[in-house]
């Protein structure tokens, strides 16, 4: 058994400031203290991952640590932000040092590969949940938002779709081998931070796909006040998805499944080549899946599913 | 029943950017976007309040909203920071619109009185818990930390002690009238933000008292590498505390009780008058309760209790 302070000091604090700069004071005081880059805007998001709501409680602890950070970083990616710092709020049913140590390993590993410093946090008793607040920076007026899509723009998506839903299906079917690509897509999503930064100045709007393509496309359409003609046959399907779910299931997973953490963007047609070249340099495809229209609404796919919601209500 | 987006839009987003400045983009996109004050340092803390761990689940929703923000702001106060922005992560067992509306009222009211903008958040299904990440600013080298106490400094505390534990005792005894001062101390704590800023340049170290005076004094002693001679008879007791707990119980509540959210500071004796005058202007007493010593350890009180811990362990 470990005390709260012991857990923080032993597992969360080490290597917490890593290679990332700008941390004047990390874990161990009342607050963390950062030196922002002069002239940049501060970009902040929080996501909480609750056991057996957002991820299986019995998933590998290292994957849970990775995933909790990844889903928050995905929001920074969607703004085109440079990820800098994070703070974590961890609630745990018991102080299991082995579990926390492995969890922290997954969290810190993604900190290292993304250059993010874990600079503060708290640990409480409660059901297993991880809240991660991420902070990044972006030059003034360079942030990508949901609101800039224009009629005539291309609609495009990074990477591959349906892997989150496909991986969940394989997990529920009993697969546990994290070498399986679909399971990796579900449990070890890669936030598209470099892609988001590469799309600054090219994308007219952006959102990350966490609730499912159609649901997140709905947010982008409404924020921009535009419509979309979708080309469902163009959706880039995740590796192994058709084998796992069949042709029809794979299409539905790509359209409506959550947890893909790809970027959905709009961009003027004349920017497409440049955007695809920049992402190719990151080994990431950028696939055109539709067109922005002036008339509102969605053509090319039934828009009936609201995507994942915690509290499905009368006014989705 | 309300959907997740509905809850955010209806109850959390309104008035979220209030009178506070620097918010370029609030609730409704992937991230919030802020304009930091040039030259200032960014100060960040997160605290999660879990139902029936940190507060009674059946406490008034408005008090729960107030308290969740107050305990996070208290950390900014302890750094001498100017509170600017916050993001909230709310997990709820069910989408009860009335409860969330009342909860949000308490949260927003404290945002208003402290000039803080609620600029983002997420809502999930789970046991009732509220994670609040607060962001503030402080000029370079002006932040108060736990590490600056020097031998010969006075040890002093703002306000009154024991009210958190006394209020909890009254709550557990069945009192529910929030007009009772002790209950207010417990359920509606006031973060000492103005006091923290007023103590910049005077206090040599600071920490907020959340885990109990002796426990938080232990953090300050260890971070500063100093000892303390405490004068327990000097502790300023909360209004009504002796009547509620008796003389001996009141002293123990002041020494070991948690949830007081006062500031515990050290300062050179020659700064004491000025500090007391500045706090008097805020209607807040600053009471000397001991002296910093070069020899480590605590004199004047048994240091056996580690204060509140979520996971009491072998190495507190």
What is the Cα–Cα distance from B302 to B214, expressed in whole angstroms? 9
Rounded Cα distance, B206 and B146, in Å: 5
Q: Could you tell me where in chain B the CATH 3.30.1330.10 domains are found?
A: 9-138
Q: How far apart are CA B251 and CA B281, in angstroms?
A: 28
**CB B33 to CB A43 under 8 A?**
yes
Q: Which residue among B28, B30, B125 sits closest to A208, beta carbon to beta carbon?
A: B30
| A25, A44, A53 ranked by CB distance to B124: nearest | A53
Q: In chain A, which residues have their Cβ closer than 8 Å to the Cβ of B2?
A: 311, 313-315
CA–CA distance, A78 with B116 (Å, rounded to integer): 25
Residue to substitute from A35, A90, A133, A225, interface B, most B β-carbons within 10 A = A133
Query: Could B2 and A311 be called an inter-chain contact, meaning their C-beta atoms sit closer than 8 Å?
Result: yes
Distance from CA of A212 to the nearest CA of B (A): 14
Strand partners, A131: A48, A89
Order of all β-strands in the sheet with B32-34: A117-125, A82-92, A129-138, A41-50, B32-34, B23-25
Query: Where is B206: in which H helix or E strand?
Result: strand B205-208
pLDDT at position A312, please?
57
d(CA A20, CA A186): 27
pLDDT score at A22: 86
How many angstroms separate the CA of residue B177 from the nearest CA in chain A?
A: 28
Residue with tokens 């009192």: B175
Contact B29, A146 (CB under 8 A): yes
B95–A311 CB contact, under 8 Å: yes
Whether residue A47 is annotated as binding a ligand: the answer is yes
Q: What is the ipTM of this complex?
A: 0.91
Longest dimension (CA), chain A: 61
> What dotted CATH number matches A4-138?
3.30.1330.10
Ranges for all domains in chain A classified under CATH 3.30.1330.10? 4-138
- The two beta strands, A154-158 and A263-267, are antiparallel
| Domain range A154-299, CATH class | alpha beta
Contacts with B40 from chain A: Cβ below 8 Å: 36
Which of these, A71, A68, A77, lies nearest to A104 by C-alpha position?
Answer: A68
Per residue in A131-183, pLDDT (tens digit) is 999 999 999 999 999 999 999 999 999 999 999 999 999 999 999 999 999 99
Q: At B102, is the secondary structure helix, strand, or coil?
A: helix
The side-by-side arrangement of strands in the sheet containing A154-158 is: A205-208, A263-267, A154-158, A286-293, A227-230, A297-299
| pLDDT, one tens digit for every residue, chain A (316 residues) | 456 656 766 777 755 554 458 898 888 888 999 999 999 999 999 999 999 999 999 999 999 999 999 999 999 999 999 999 999 999 999 888 899 999 999 999 999 999 999 999 889 999 999 999 999 999 999 999 999 999 999 999 999 999 999 999 999 999 999 999 999 999 999 999 999 999 999 999 999 999 999 999 999 999 999 999 999 999 999 999 999 999 999 999 999 999 999 999 999 999 999 999 999 999 999 999 999 999 999 999 865 444 555 565 534 3
CA B229 to CA B251: how far, in whole Å?
Answer: 17
Determine whether domain B9-138 maps to CATH 3.30.1330.10. Answer: yes
Residue A227 has what DSSP assignment?
A: E
Pinpoint the residues of chain A covered by CATH 3.90.650.10.
154-299
Q: Would you say B231 is a known binding-site residue?
A: no
Q: Give the model confidence (pLDDT) of A229-254 as tens digits.
A: 999 999 999 999 999 999 999 999 99
Considering only CB atoms, B95 lies closest to which of A50, A146, A313, namely: A313
Residues of chain B below pLDDT 70: 1-6, 8-10, 14-20, 302-316
Please give the structure tokens belonging to residue B293: 């010593």
Q: What is the pLDDT of residue B27?
A: 83
Tokens standing for residue B198: 């007023």
Question: Interhelix angle for B241-256 vs B163-172, to 10°?
Answer: 120
Cβ–Cβ of A50/B306 closer than 8 Å? no
Count of CA atoms in the C-beta half-sphere (13 A) of A10: 19
Q: Identify the DSSP state of B151.
A: T
- For B227-272, strand residue ranges (E) read 227-230, 263-267
Q: How many CB pairs under 8 A join A and B?
A: 264
Which of B124, B133, B316 minimises the CB distance to A87?
B133
Question: At a CB cut-off of 8 Å and minimum separation 6, what does A15 contact?
Answer: A108, A111, A112
Contact A283, A187 (CB under 8 A): no
Helix, strand or coil for residue B34?
strand
Distance separating alpha carbons of residues A278 and A156, to the nearest angstrom: 14
Please state, in angstroms and rounded to a whole number, the distance separating the CA atoms of residues B281 and A47: 40
């Amino acid at each position: 058994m470990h005390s709260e302070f012991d857990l923080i000091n032993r597992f969360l604090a080490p290597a917490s400031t890593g290679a990332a700069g700008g941390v004047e004071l990390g874990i161990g005081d009342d607050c963390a203290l950062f030196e922002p880059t002069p002239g940049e805007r501060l970009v902040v998001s929080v996501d909480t991952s609750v056991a057996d709501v957002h991820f299986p409680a019995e998933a590998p602890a290292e994957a849970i640590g990775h995933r909790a950070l990844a889903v928050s970083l995905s929001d920074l990616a969607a703004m085109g932000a440079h990820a800098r710092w994070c703070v974590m709020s961890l609630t745990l049913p018991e102080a299991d040092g082995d579990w926390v140590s492995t969890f922290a390993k997954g969290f810190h590993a993604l900190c290292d590969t993304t250059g993010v410093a874990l600079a503060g946090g708290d640990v409480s008793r409660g059901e297993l949940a991880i809240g991660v607040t991420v902070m990044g920076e972006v030059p003034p007026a360079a942030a990508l938002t949901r609101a800039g899509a224009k009629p005539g723009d291309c609609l495009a998506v990074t990477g591959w779709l349906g892997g989150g839903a496909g991986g969940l299906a394989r997990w529920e079917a009993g697969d546990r081998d994290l070498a399986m690509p679909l399971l990796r897509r579900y449990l070890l999503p890669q936030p598209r931070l470099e892609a988001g930064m590469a799309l600054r100045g090219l994308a007219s709007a952006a959102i990350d796909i966490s609730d499912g393509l159609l649901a997140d496309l709905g947010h982008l359409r409404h924020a921009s006040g535009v419509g979309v003609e979708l080309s469902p046959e163009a959706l880039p399907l995740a590796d192994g998805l058709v084998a796992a779910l069949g042709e029809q299931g794979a299409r539905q997973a790509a359209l409506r499944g959550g947890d893909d953490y790809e970027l959905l963007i709009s961009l003027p047609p004349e920017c497409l080549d440049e955007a695809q070249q920049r992402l190719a340099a990151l080994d990431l495809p950028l696939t055109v899946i539709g067109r922005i229209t002036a008339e509102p609404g969605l053509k090319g796919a039934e828009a009936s599913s609201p995507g994942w919601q915690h509290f499905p209500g009368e006014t989705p």
